[in-house]
Amino acid sequence: MDTIMERALSGEPRALARLMSRVERMDEESAAIMKELYPKTGRAHTIGVTGSPGAGKSSLTSCLITSFRKMEKKVGIIAVDPSSPYSGGAILGDRLRMQDHALDSGVFIRSMGSRGNLGGLSGSTRDVSLVMDACGYDIILIETVGVGQSEVDVVKASDTVCLVLVPGMGDDVQIMKAGIMEIADLFVVNKCDRDGASKVAADVKVMLDLMPPRAWRPPVSLASAVRSEGIEDILTNIAAHGKYLADTDEGMARARSKIENVVEEILRREIAERVDSAWRELRGGAIEDLAGRRTDPYTLAADILDKIILK
């Protein structure tokens, strides 16, 4: 084990940041680091916080940090912005609120952008959260900027997915968005002092009724992050969901299927790299030949497979 890893494991923030940067490179060293850290993981509770821009996710995350710190939990935060080219220690522009915690040694904040994450943002976010887990962070909050497909992919890997809604933002559209309802383990209607908050909560419950019943029915909390109201209820729901994952067969099955997804994601990435390089070699004339019907997709696919697959 090299010294950076030792120092990160012993809780040194600068070493932790450097270790994450190495992991994010997704090269051979990254895999070696992850192999070594993996046996030390599995203790943290990872919580994804997602929702439309302006829903108050950062304020809510900040409240959650404060509460978890009161319980003396070490908290890691991963702030994910697929549209940002920047990754690393820097706090994203509008997330000033989180700076309240920047001087707290029990809080570690990491920004993740999309540039330089060859293996995809969801893969690198997962690896960074595993690094935090191995290094003794009890709670890992993964906060997204928006609620697009890449954000959904990112938070899907969390133990508990918290979807933040607000009144007056075209809520039907917000909550019907692709695959969001399906992955949320708990709903928070933020800015609950605004008109329409209880209507949004009621709408969510109706939509949950319309969905196929699941072993875990996502609870719906009303909160006002800026007034620090309703936070206890959210914490109770997060804890209940953690207990559900740990104690029930469905919860265990879900945890296992997530581990399977990790293996699959690594495989996909590795294979995609090899397919891409074989395709780059052939691509030039191939598309023209296909369009001209001088070759066919089946022959071309077989040629690519011959270059990468064992017989």
DSSP state of 103: T
DSSP state of 217: P
- Residue 29 binds a copy of itself (CB under 8 A): no
Residue with tokens 């191995």: 134
CA nearest to 140, candidates 64, 90, 78, 188: 78
- Residue 182 binds a copy of itself (CB under 8 A): no
- Residue 199 binds a copy of itself (CB under 8 A): no
Task: For Cα atoms 122, 124, 127, give the angle at the middle one, nearest 5 degrees.
Answer: 110
- Whichever of 120 and 219 has its CB closer to a copy of itself, that residue is 120
- Whichever of 127 and 143 has its CB closer to a copy of itself, that residue is 127
Q: Chain-centre distance of CA 271, in angstroms? A: 22
- Whichever of 216 and 279 has its CB closer to a copy of itself, that residue is 279
Residue 47, CB-side half-sphere exposure with 13 Å CA sphere: 29
- Residue 224, helix vs strand vs coil: strand
Write a three-state SS string for 83-102. Answer: CCCCCECCCCCCCHHHHHHC
Rounded CA separation 250/217 (Å) = 12
Number of residues engaging a copy of itself in binding (CB under 8 A): 46
- Whichever of 169 and 266 has its CB closer to a copy of itself, that residue is 266
Rounded CA separation 169/64 (Å) = 23
What is the biggest distance separating any 2 CA atoms in the chain, rounded to whole angstroms?
69
- Residue 206 binds a copy of itself (CB under 8 A): no
- Residue 54 binds a copy of itself (CB under 8 A): no
Smallest gap from residue 103 Cβ to a copy of itself (A): 33
Interacting residue with a copy of itself among 243, 259, 277, 285 (CB under 8 A): 259
- Residue 302 binds a copy of itself (CB under 8 A): yes
Smallest gap from residue 42 Cβ to a copy of itself (A): 6
Interacting residue with a copy of itself among 118, 169, 235, 300 (CB under 8 A): 300
- Residue 179 binds a copy of itself (CB under 8 A): yes
- Which two tokens mark 162? 């918290």
Amino acid at 92: L
- Residue 284 binds a copy of itself (CB under 8 A): no
Smallest gap from residue 100 Cβ to a copy of itself (A): 35
Provide the binding-site residues for a copy of itself, judged by CB under 8 A: 31, 34-35, 38-42, 172-173, 176-179, 255-256, 259-260, 262-263, 266-267, 270-271, 274-275, 279, 286-287, 290-291, 293-294, 296-302, 304-305, 307-310
